[in-house]
Amino acid sequence: MDKSIIIHLIEGLSKGAKELKLDEFSSIRSLFIPKSSIKENRYLLKDLDIKSCIYFLLNTSEDKKAYIGQTDSINQRLDDHFRNKDWWTDSIVIFYTIDNSLTKSDTLFIEKLLVSKVSQFSEYELLNKIEPNDRIVEKHKLPALREFEKMVYLILGVLGIEIFEELKIKKEENLEINNDFGIREEYKESVEVVCKNKANGLFFSKTNELIVKAGSLVKKPSNHFEELKYYKLFAKLLEDKVIVSKDSENYYFLKDYKFKSPSAASTIILGRSSNGLIDWKLLSTNKTLKEEFEL
């Protein structure tokens, strides 16, 4: 679907501060400010101290470093970062809503999603010292939060900030990603699940099947892995290039793959024996499959 992004050049310069919005009717806004001109543009942040927001601190040089944060006091956080983050050289990008529909719990949830995705896909070194905890949000809020998440990816792409590398992997490695889960008829009865911050998937409670999404990480197996029940399946996935090498510690899924049970999927992902009913959790509630479906 076509989308239009409205860009306001606050300083009248292509590389200066910008405000971005999807259209006149969206409440989501973004501010891009070069670090060198934050002092002159501090007035732009005055109203944000009463809003919950997500922000990125960026170093887009060859070293490629980033920090992802959330706050409802952006000016105080900026003062802290100026003192403590010498590596931060380029810019800050802030995401918020003008109608205050984004709450503290919402930004904590989105921060967790973004940090997990950068950890899986990005060439950027993520300098968050503390990994965000899993968060629970009300189910009815998920569509709006997912829309906010998509807006983050879209705007960063428009700004030329390639911190999320999923599309790059797709082009370079022919990664087969289905982004229309929940729309396709066969996926309507599924729920989104995550496994130990390494993998994302869809669980079908009626059949006990689980689809692991392309791009999900796979830990290289432990020494005794070939003694386990699912070793032959793991070897077959490697042979068929469903799973390919990422680095010295991980493989990743090159395409979506449907497993006959959650435990088969989690054992292969974690490189050890695993109870999938416990190691897979619902994205929306943080409950295990065992807790959610009383299995």
262 in a structural domain? yes
66 in a structural domain? yes
92 in a structural domain? yes
Give the range among 1-10, 118-127, 211-220 with minimum mean pLDDT: 118-127
Q: Are residues 219 and 289 in the same domain?
A: yes
Whole-angstrom distance, CA of residue 92 vs CA of residue 38: 9
Q: Are residues 156 and 192 in the same domain?
A: no
141 in a structural domain? yes
pLDDT at 295 over 70: no
* Residue 16 or 62, more confident: 16
Mean pLDDT of 110-120: 82
Q: Are residues 159 and 183 in the same domain?
A: no
Quick one: pLDDT at residue 30?
Answer: 95
pLDDT at 168 over 60: no
Q: Are residues 251 and 191 in the same domain?
A: yes
The partner residues of 199 in beta bridges, in order of sequence, read 195
- pLDDT 10s digits, 192-237: 899 987 788 999 988 999 999 988 999 988 778 888 889 999 999 9
Query: Which string of DSSP letters, residue by residue, matches the chain?
Result: -----EEEETTS-TTS-EEEES-TT--EEEEEEEGGGTTTTGGGGGGGGGS-EEEEEEE-STT-EEEEEEES-HHHHHHHHHHH-TT--SEEEEEEETTS---HHHHHHHHHHHHHHHHHH-SSEE--SSPPPP----GGGHHHHHHHHHHHHHHHHHTT-----HHHHHHHH--B----TTTSGGGTTEEEEEETTTEEEEEETTTTEEEEPTT-EEEPPPTTGGGSTTHHHHHHHHHTTSEEE-SSSEEEESB-EEESSHHHHHHHHHTS---HHHHEEETTT--BHHHHHT-
Q: Are residues 131 and 90 in the same domain?
A: yes
Q: Are residues 140 and 224 in the same domain?
A: no
51 in a structural domain? yes
Q: Are residues 86 and 126 in the same domain?
A: yes
Phi-psi category of residue 67: left, alpha or beta, with phi > 0 → left and psi -120 to 50 → alpha: beta
Q: Are residues 46 and 75 in the same domain?
A: yes
Domain total of the chain:
2
* Residue 210 or 190, more confident: 210
Q: Are residues 77 and 150 in the same domain?
A: yes
CA 265 to chain centroid, in Å, comes to 20
Q: Are residues 159 and 197 in the same domain?
A: no
170 in a structural domain? no
Give the end of a domain, one of 164, 197, 223. Answer: 164
39 in a structural domain? yes
Q: Are residues 123 and 225 in the same domain?
A: no
Give the end of a domain, one of 107, 130, 164. Answer: 164
Q: Are residues 159 and 181 in the same domain?
A: no
Tell me which residue of 270, 291, 275 sits closest to 198, measured CA to CA.
Answer: 270
Whole-angstrom distance, CA of residue 164 vs CA of residue 245: 19
- pLDDT 10s digits, 124-140: 888 887 777 666 677 78
169 in a structural domain? no
Edge-first strand order for the sheet with 53-59 is 6-9, 18-21, 28-34, 91-97, 53-59, 65-71, 125-126
Q: Which domain holds residue 103?
A: 6-164
Cβ pair 95, 151 in contact under 8 A: yes
Give the end of a domain, one of 164, 196, 230. Answer: 164
Amino acid identity, position 83? R
